[in-house]
């Protein structure tokens, strides 16, 4: 029953959602409206319940066992609850929550702490890319040489300096992106699309069951 019931739900709802797309009958449209505006959004709220559970279990386990970097888990908990209290602390009468809400503005914490920290982490990529390009980007084979030459043209043509060197360079870059790149991207997309259809059909028909856990 624990396995059959979810399979029946997946089959029925998958089939109904497919049918309603092709039949614009008022009943079908009503079903669709209830489905996307109520049921699915309500179900998606449970993502957060699971996310909180995973977050809590992972970090509590790490702190309990004093695993390497356990202090970072403490920082994670402090960060999460601090931000929560900065946003909702006024709803908790008295105590630390009210204090944090009063003296720490949620928007300021986002704008002046979270945003710069995350942007800094991501911007470190520029340094690693420069170093990696210097060490690893070598014209060892014909394919690597092609990639290297194309990347160099695109890198130069996508910045104003390239256009200042030669006015035609941005047009060459647009051509590379619009034709060779697009042909490759489209091939990948068609492959991914066919894969998605096949996987969806396997889920609807109950052949693919890994989403139920186990097996």
65 binds another protein (CB under 8 A): no
Report the residue number, 74 or 139, with the smaller CB distance to another protein: 139
The residue within the footprint of another protein, chosen from 119, 211, 214, 215 (CB under 8 A), is: 119
Closest distance of CB 131 from another protein, Å = 4
The residue within the footprint of another protein, chosen from 54, 61, 105, 152 (CB under 8 A), is: 152
138 binds another protein (CB under 8 A): yes
Write the CA distances from 50 to 12, 54, 56, 162, 191, integer angstroms.
25, 6, 10, 49, 32
7: closest CA among 203, 198, 213, 210?
A: 203
Token digits of residue 205: 């028909």
Closest distance of CB 149 from another protein, Å = 10
The CB density around residue 99, as the number of other CB atoms within 10 Å, is 13
The residue within the footprint of another protein, chosen from 170, 172, 209, 212 (CB under 8 A), is: 170
Half-sphere exposure of 155 (CA within 13 A, CB side): 9
The residue within the footprint of another protein, chosen from 25, 33, 53, 202 (CB under 8 A), is: 33
């Amino acid at each position: 029953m624990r396995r059959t019931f979810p399979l029946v739900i997946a089959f029925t709802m998958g089939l109904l959602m497919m049918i309603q797309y092709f039949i614009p009958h008022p009943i079908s449209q009503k079903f669709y409206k209830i489905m996307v505006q109520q049921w699915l959004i309500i179900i998606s709220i449970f993502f957060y319940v699971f996310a909180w559970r995973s977050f809590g279990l992972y970090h509590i386990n790490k702190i309990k066992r004093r695993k390497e970097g356990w202090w970072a888990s403490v920082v994670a908990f402090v960060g999460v609850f601090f931000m929560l209290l900065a946003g909702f602390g006024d709803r908790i009468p008295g105590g630390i929550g009210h204090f944090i809400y009063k003296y720490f503005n949620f928007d300021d914490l986002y704008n002046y702490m979270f945003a710069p920290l995350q942007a800094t982490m991501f911007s470190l990529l520029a340094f690693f890319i420069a170093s990696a390009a210097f060490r690893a980007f070598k014209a060892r084979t014909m394919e690597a040489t092609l990639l290297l030459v194309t990347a160099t043209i695109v890198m130069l043509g996508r910045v104003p300096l390239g256009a200042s060197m030669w006015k035609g360079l941005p047009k060459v870059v647009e051509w590379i992106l619009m034709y060779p790149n697009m042909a490759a991207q489209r091939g990948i997309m068609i492959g991914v699309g066919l894969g998605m259809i096949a996987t969806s059909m396997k889920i609807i028909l109950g052949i693919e069951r890994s989403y139920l856990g186990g097996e």
